[in-house]
């Protein structure tokens, strides 16, 4: 039995050529070779969310099995539901359901096998043409057909999963169980029907939760597919992975109607930290932005960055260090993330050049020999300790923050290169805070962090 398309002609074009043409128009030139086995993408009409969805799908690494995990908008049931259909139809052709795997899942997880929840449900259907456009060969020679199939090993099959009254840990366990031979598409829009500015605030908060892994703060009103999102982020947390933003906006940005809007965002899972991703793929952009901010300040202009990599729109904290002829010329930074990372870098670059009280403002004659370095901080973590000896055993090789009443100081991890001895490092940090080097008290607050270091030295 096949599942006929319910939303062709409404959510997306029903003509195959026009559908492929529209999907192709959403594609971006991605100069990043990383592909992920798990993405979060929206599921509204393509005119609204198509650009954001493609931004996420372009990072997807296809596997033989692709799970599409989406919320049920019309039917109530417990746990998850999967269909008995053999194929889902779209204007681009049929896409096969892996019924064998569905039967296996039903033996391992609490679920309902029923076609009814999938009738008139858009959250699964609208994702299928993206998969077909990106990973299914189009009209071509037999040789090219076989060649393209080899790129993904075998023709993909889908496992459609709708979530009902469901604990997110069921989804996390499902992902963990089938991770080795599968890819995962989490289908969800963000906030619904708030005024434009309020939607932006809510969705920014939601994005920060997704990107920091703090899923205990994620509530149903923030995203219709909250169960799937929490399940994937929990899996990412358990495997030391991070969620990287690919796109985020709302319907008001498309239509101009600002009274009641819906938010859309896409993310992909990265098998390391966000800062490692930035260091690997965005270093040139970061350094160029920092230098451009300094030059603009010298010319009494405001630097406005363009074509910002979405990962740099995530909130973050940074330090910018300037050297001239190998000597420190300025260093200003942020310990806590209070704004999008790119804006933090731009502000700290300007402040390092013109607001560091230890130095005179930079001049244009210094720019040619100016060395710019950017440290992107991880989240900070308080260090518990029994005594100073115990504390000294825990501080290397991290960046360290100390706070004692109104006195505070910070050393970046790179300072260990100049002060490799733990006691000397810590005493020097105390002096920087205005404390005697021999000072110690159990009231001293100590925090650690790590940092990715980007430089053109």
For the domain that residue 32 is a member of, what is the CATH number?
3.40.830.10
Same-domain status, 31 and 179: yes
Same-domain status, 425 and 350: no
Same-domain status, 351 and 419: no
* DSSP-assigned letters across all residues of 252-316: HHHH---SSEEEEEEEEEESS-HHHHHHHHSHHHHHHHHHHHHHHHHTT------S--GGGGSB-
Burial class of 100 by CB neighbour count within 10 A (0 to 12, 13 to 18, 19+): exposed
Q: Is 194 helix (H, G, I), strand (E, B) or coil?
A: strand
Q: Let me know how long the chain is.
A: 457
pLDDT, one tens digit per residue, over 56-97 is: 999 999 999 999 999 999 999 999 999 999 999 999 999 999
Sheet with strand 318-324: strands edge to edge:
327-333, 318-324, 370-377, 451-455
Show Cβ contacts of residue 139 under 8 Å, excluding neighbours closer than 6 positions. Answer: none
Show Cβ contacts of residue 244 under 8 Å, excluding neighbours closer than 6 positions. Answer: 211, 267, 268, 269, 270, 274, 277, 310, 311
Give percent of the chain with pLDDT exceeding 70: 96
Mean pLDDT, rounded, of the chain: 95
Burial class of 24 by CB neighbour count within 10 A (0 to 12, 13 to 18, 19+): exposed
Q: Identify the DSSP state of 126.
A: T
Same-domain status, 440 and 360: no
The pLDDT of residue 146 is: 54
The pLDDT of residue 300 is: 94
Contact 167, 228 (CB under 8 A): no
pLDDT, one tens digit per residue, over 182-200 is: 999 999 999 999 999 999 9
Same-domain status, 98 and 57: yes
Among residues 355, 377, 399, which one ends one of the domains? Answer: 377
Same-domain status, 265 and 391: no
Burial class of 183 by CB neighbour count within 10 A (0 to 12, 13 to 18, 19+): buried
The rounded distance, in Å, linking the Cα atoms of 348 and 354 is 10
Contact 45, 10 (CB under 8 A): yes
Both structure tokens of 307: 């074509």
Lowest average pLDDT, out of 32-36, 51-55, 135-139, 213-217, goes to 135-139
pLDDT, one tens digit per residue, over 19-49 is: 999 999 999 998 899 999 999 999 999 999 9
**Domain of residue 368, CATH code:** 3.30.700.20
CA angle 17, 18, 22 (to 5 degrees): 120
Contact 177, 242 (CB under 8 A): no
Same-domain status, 23 and 138: yes
Q: Count the Cβ atoms, other than its own, within 10 Å of residue 64.
A: 15
Same-domain status, 80 and 207: yes
Same-domain status, 259 and 214: yes
Among residues 239, 272, 305, which one ends one of the domains? Answer: 272
Same-domain status, 162 and 301: no
What number is the average pLDDT over the span 166-181? 97
Contact 342, 374 (CB under 8 A): no
Residue 18 has pLDDT above 90, yes or no: yes
Show Cβ contacts of residue 400 under 8 Å, excluding neighbours closer than 6 positions. Answer: 410, 411, 425, 426, 429, 446, 447, 448
What number is the average pLDDT over the span 400-421? 96
Among residues 361, 377, 393, which one ends one of the domains? Answer: 377
Burial class of 276 by CB neighbour count within 10 A (0 to 12, 13 to 18, 19+): middle
Both structure tokens of 421: 């001895």
The pLDDT of residue 152 is: 43
The rounded distance, in Å, linking the Cα atoms of 34 and 26 is 19
Residue 141 has pLDDT above 60, yes or no: no
End-to-end CA distance of the chain: 63
Same-domain status, 129 and 158: yes
Same-domain status, 141 and 243: yes
Number of separate domains in the chain: 3
**Domain of residue 415, CATH code:** 3.30.1490.150
285: containing domain: 279-377
The pLDDT of residue 144 is: 54
Residue 151 has pLDDT above 90, yes or no: no
Lowest average pLDDT, out of 43-52, 61-70, 95-104, 145-154, goes to 145-154
Residue 150 has pLDDT above 80, yes or no: no
Q: Count the Cβ atoms, other than its own, within 10 Å of residue 26.
A: 18
The pLDDT of residue 93 is: 95
């Amino acid at each position: 039995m096949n599942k006929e398309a319910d939303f062709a002609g409404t959510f997306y074009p029903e003509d195959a050529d026009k559908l492929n043409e529209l999907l192709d128009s959403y594609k971006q030139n991605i100069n990043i070779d990383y592909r992920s086995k798990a993405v979060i993408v929206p599921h509204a009409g393509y005119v609204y969310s198509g650009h954001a969805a493609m931004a996420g799908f372009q990072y997807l690494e296809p596997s033989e099995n692709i799970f599409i995990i989406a919320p049920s908008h019309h039917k109530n049931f417990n746990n998850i539901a999967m269909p008995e259909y053999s194929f889902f139809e779209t204007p681009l052709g049929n896409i096969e359901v892996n019924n064998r795997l569905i039967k296996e899942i039903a033996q391992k997880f609490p679920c309902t096998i029923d076609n009814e929840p999938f009738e008139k449900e858009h959250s699964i259907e609208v994702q299928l043409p993206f998969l077909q456009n990106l990973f299914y060969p189009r009209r071509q020679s037999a040789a090219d057909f076989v060649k393209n199939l080899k790129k993904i090993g075998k023709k993909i099959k889908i496992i459609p999963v709708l979530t009902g009254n469901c604990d997110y840990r069921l989804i996390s366990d499902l992902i963990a169980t089938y991770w080795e031979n599968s890819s995962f598409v989490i289908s969800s829009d963000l906030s619904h029907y708030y005024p434009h500015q309020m939607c932006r605030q809510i969705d920014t908060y939601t994005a920060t939760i997704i990107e920091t892994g703090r899923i205990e703060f994620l509530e149903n009103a923030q995203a219709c597919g909250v169960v799937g999102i929490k399940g994937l982020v929990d899996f990412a947390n358990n495997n030391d992975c991070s969620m990287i933003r690919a796109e985020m906006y709302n319907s008001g940005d498309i239509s101009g109607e600002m009274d009641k809007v819906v938010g859309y965002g896409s993310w992909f899972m990265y098998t390391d930290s966000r800062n490692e991703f930035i260091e690997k793929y965005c270093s040139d952009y970061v350094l160029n932005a920092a230098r451009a901010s300094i030059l603009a300040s010298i010319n009494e202009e405001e630097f406005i960055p363009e074509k910002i990599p979405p990962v740099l729109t995530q909130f973050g904290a940074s330090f910018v260090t300037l050297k001239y002829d190998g000597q420190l010329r300025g260093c200003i930074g942020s310990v806590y993330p209070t704004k999008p990372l790119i804006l933090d870098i731009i502000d700290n670059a300007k402040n390092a050049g013109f607001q560091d009280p230890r130095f005179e403002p930079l001049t244009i004659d210094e720019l040619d020999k100016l060395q710019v370095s950017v440290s992107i901080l991880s989240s900070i973590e308080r260090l518990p300790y029994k005594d100073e000896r115990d504390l000294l055993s825990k501080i290397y090789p991290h960046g360290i923050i100390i706070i004692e009443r109104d006195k505070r100081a910070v050393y970046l991890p790179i300072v260990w290169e100049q002060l490799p001895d733990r006691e000397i490092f810590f005493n020097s940090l105390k002096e920087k805070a205005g404390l005697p080097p021999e000072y110690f008290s159990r009231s001293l607050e100590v925090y650690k962090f790590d940092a990715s270091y980007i430089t053109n030295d």
